Amino acid sequence: MTKHPHETDVAFIQALAELLNNNDLTELAVKRDYGENDTLNVRVSRQTQMVANYAPAPMAAAPAATAAPVAAATPTESDPAQNPNALTSPMVGTVYLAAEPGAAPFANVGSTVSAGQTVLIIEAMKTMNQIAAPKAGTIKRILVTDGSPVEYGAPLMIIE
């Protein structure tokens, strides 16, 4: 807990909240050291509605009343984040599938990738972070679109 005046800490927290809103961030954490045994830890966050870019499955004609019940989708099909082969976002930012606008994407559905190969970039605070494939495999699904915002832990692609 800080030993400094309360007013300066309140102003600091208000400035962080403003920074959060002005830069469309969802969370911001800061540790302020004033000296030995005198720190202030602040975490400012807000809830956002996550919009997924999933294409809906084609709709079939309504089954007849006498038809057998249809099996429900497996958890990994209905929720890609639960898929053990999902590459998830290590940070909040904007995802880019290519090194620059107009360039060929790092990987496409069906591409074979090796462990450590860059498969996309996430821009966070004006820094381009290369995201590597965690394992060798084939890209089965790309769950994000170029230039879309992503949250921490959001599924980006399925590599099997």
Distances (CA, A) of 10 to 3, 16, 58, 74: 13, 10, 52, 48
What is the mean pLDDT for each group of 10 consecutive residues in the chain (160 residues)?
60 76 75 74 64 47 46 53 84 91 90 92 90 92 91 90
In the chain, the amino acid numbered 42 is V
User: pLDDT tens for residues 25-57?
Assistant: 777 777 777 777 777 777 777 655 444 444 444
Q: Where are the domains of the chain?
A: 6-45, 79-159
Nearest Cα to Cα of residue 111 among 81, 84, 133: 133
Q: Name residue 27's beta-bridge partners.
A: 45
pLDDT for position 73? 45
Single pTM value for the model = 0.52
How many C-beta neighbours within 10 Å does residue 148 have?
15
User: pLDDT tens for residues 77-91?
Assistant: 567 767 888 898 999
Q: Where does 79-159 sit in CATH, by number?
A: 2.40.50.100
pLDDT for position 57? 47
